[in-house]
């Protein structure tokens, strides 16, 4: 698994909270936001002809693929709902699991108002490999169980890093998994158009 390492200038971090004063009233006013926010709504479920292909920066090149894939083995069937960064882009994920399809680890479910940046907590990675959102297991006896941070059917956010000219632009996607039809929906996403700038999960 590839890991993402960024070297950020201290000035860029400090500049994230920069303000300027209005000449008329001397009151500090926040700098204008530089976040692009898109309400999407596309869904994909098992059996669909195509996954969700996401071009975040609208440069006519796919950046991330959101997919549903069924595998079968000695322990039963396993339906993987996941996300695949394309090219040099990254998602925030846990460690790989070599017992699973494509060694997928679980994508990290971001805390409400959590900061998405180059900073990582223990057992978190910026990865360009496939990551799972949810897994449905069907045993040989027909029993069904679920794993993953999206398996409770509530909408959740995953952080991503869009790499342009070897420079990261951080963002988030909100996705929701519907167990009744095994469908994943890309509800919305946003990204910070200022290089190396952190973004708050869910902010736009």
**pTM of the shown model:** 0.83
Q: What is the pLDDT of residues 45-77, one digit of tens each?
A: 999 999 999 999 999 999 999 999 999 988 899
> Is 14 strand, coil or helix?
helix
Average pLDDT over residues 122-141: 95
Residue 14 has pLDDT above 80, yes or no: no
Per-residue DSSP letters for 64-114? EEEEEEEEEETTEEEEEEEEEE-TT-EEEE----TTSGGGPEEBP-PPTT-
Name the percent of the chain lying above pLDDT 70. 84
Domain ranges for the chain: 28-200
Q: What is the pLDDT of residues 158-167, one digit of tens each?
A: 999 999 999 9
Per-residue exposure over 16-25, b if at least 16 CB sit within 10 Å of its own CB, e if not: eeeeeeeeee
Query: How far is it, in rounded angstroms, from Cα 135 to Cα 151?
Result: 7
- pLDDT the model gives residue 5: 40
Residue 7, class by beta-carbon neighbours within 10 Å (0-12 exposed, 13-18 middle, 19+ buried)? exposed
Residue 105 has pLDDT above 90, yes or no: yes
């Amino acid at each position: 698994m590839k890991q993402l390492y960024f070297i950020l200038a201290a000035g860029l971090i400090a500049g994230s909270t920069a303000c300027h004063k209005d000449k008329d009233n001397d009151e500090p006013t926040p700098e204008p936001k530089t976040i692009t926010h898109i309400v999407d709504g596309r869904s994909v479920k098992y059996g669909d002809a195509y996954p969700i292909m996401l071009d975040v920066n609208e440069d006519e090149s796919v950046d991330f693929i959101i997919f549903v894939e069924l595998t079968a083995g000695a322990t039963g069937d396993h339906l993987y709902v996941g996300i695949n960064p394309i090219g040099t882009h990254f998602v925030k994920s846990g460690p790989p699991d070599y017992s699973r399809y494509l060694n997928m680890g679980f994508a990290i479910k971001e805390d409400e108002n959590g900061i998405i940046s180059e900073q990582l907590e223990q057992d978190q990675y910026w990865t360009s490999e496939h990551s799972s959102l949810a897994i449905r297991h069907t045993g040989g006896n027909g029993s069904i169980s679920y794993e993953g941070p999206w398996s409770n059917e509530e909408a959740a956010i995953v952080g991503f890093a869009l790499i342009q000219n070897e420079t990261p632009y951080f963002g988030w996607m909100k996705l929701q998994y519907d167990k009744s039809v095994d469908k994943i929906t890309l509800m919305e996403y946003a990204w910070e158009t200022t290089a190396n700038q952190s973004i708050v999960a869910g902010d736009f």
